[in-house]
Amino acid sequence: MSSNLPEKKPKAKAAAAPKSAQDSATSQKAAKPVRVITVSSGKGGVGKSNMTLALALALADLGRKVLIWDADLGLANTDVLLGIRTKYTIDDWLKGGKSLSEIIVKGPKGISILPAASGILELSEISEAQKSRLIGEFELFQDDLDFLLIDTAAGIGSNVIFFNLVAQEHLVVVSNEPTSITDAYALIKALYTKHKQSSFYLLPNMVSGAKEARAVFELMSNVAGQYLTGVCLDLVGYVPYDELVPAAVRQQQSFFILNPGSPAAVKILDLARHLIGRQPPAFGTGGLVLFLNRLVSRELAVD
């Protein structure tokens, strides 16, 4: 178990991604190693969507281009947090009426947002023509994208499992409450025991400081070490309780924008630097390309 808190590190050089197995134009050229990260939590109310948005904004501040996929199906959060009215969602793409470029909306600091809708699991059952269309349309964004952050629903539902299976990295947000810790462990257990996902980043939120964050991490890592011997938990940072965070939510703004010098914003920026500076896990043919290939695969089982 790793317990590295965020440190300022030199930027890691991205390795060239090998060719995709997809039989399309994408397979004919090198794929940019886009980082695909899910942000999940065992239960609601721990600030997962707020942390996803703030992390995207922090990465943008550091010169990275970020797309948030709001994957909390039927319960859109990112656009609500920013007070943005979205005209279309991914469901409009599924129905064939709109392109991804028409659906994706721009947010502060140049981040992009793919709004939520119900029925995204249909992506695992789409036609061959739709598969090619999805790959081709995402390819248009690939060269201008460094991170794809997938804000999943809370819990261990099939949609949560689905997106965690196709993502490259997994960030689990947890608060220092028994239900949050228990449910976060349940999510990790489900992904490990049923789907062999073994590496997770842990982000304690709304804690008093580094000591409490480490206590949460040690509790979870000790239990995982006893019952899930192959799991690796990595403490990548923490976010302290900050009264400016809920105040910003009420104004439908991100605390990272309204109060960039606040304790929570400073720690989110530390987290962004930490993620940029670390080497992502090996992921076959390249983050976004393999993500898309697995996303449209009929063989992906989530039961």
Query: How many CA atoms does the CB half-sphere of 37 hold within 13 Å?
Result: 27
pLDDT at 150: 92
Tell me whether residue 88 is in a domain: yes
Tell me whether residue 120 is in a domain: yes
Q: Which amino acid is at 233?
A: L
**Range among 112-126, 141-155, 288-302 rated most confident:** 141-155
The answer on pLDDT for 260 being more than 60 is: yes
Tokens at residue 184, please? 């976060």
The answer on pLDDT for 20 being more than 60 is: no
For the ranges 77-81, 132-136, 181-185, the lowest mean pLDDT is seen at 77-81
Tokens at residue 59, please? 């990465």
Tell me whether residue 143 is in a domain: yes
Tell me whether residue 29 is in a domain: yes
Please give the tally of structural domains in the chain: 1
Tell me whether residue 239 is in a domain: no
The answer on pLDDT for 76 being more than 70 is: no
Confidence category of residue 10, pLDDT binned at 50, 70, 90: very low
pLDDT at 67: 94
The answer on pLDDT for 23 being more than 80 is: no
Q: How far apart are CA 190 and CA 195, in angstroms?
A: 7
Tell me whether residue 267 is in a domain: yes
| Structural domain harbouring 66 | 25-168+249-295
For the ranges 29-33, 235-239, 285-289, the lowest mean pLDDT is seen at 29-33
Residue 113 near residue 123, CB atoms below 8 Å: no
CA dihedral (30, 16, 149, 231) positive or negative: positive
Residue 276 near residue 56, CB atoms below 8 Å: no
pLDDT at 88: 84
Q: What count of other Cβ atoms lies within 10 Å of the Cβ of residue 28?
A: 9
Tell me whether residue 32 is in a domain: yes
Tell me whether residue 197 is in a domain: no
* Phi, psi (degrees; rounded to nearest 5) at 231: -85, 140
Residue 205 near residue 47, CB atoms below 8 Å: yes
Percent residues over pLDDT 70 in the chain = 77
What CATH number did the domain enclosing 93 receive? Answer: 3.40.50.300
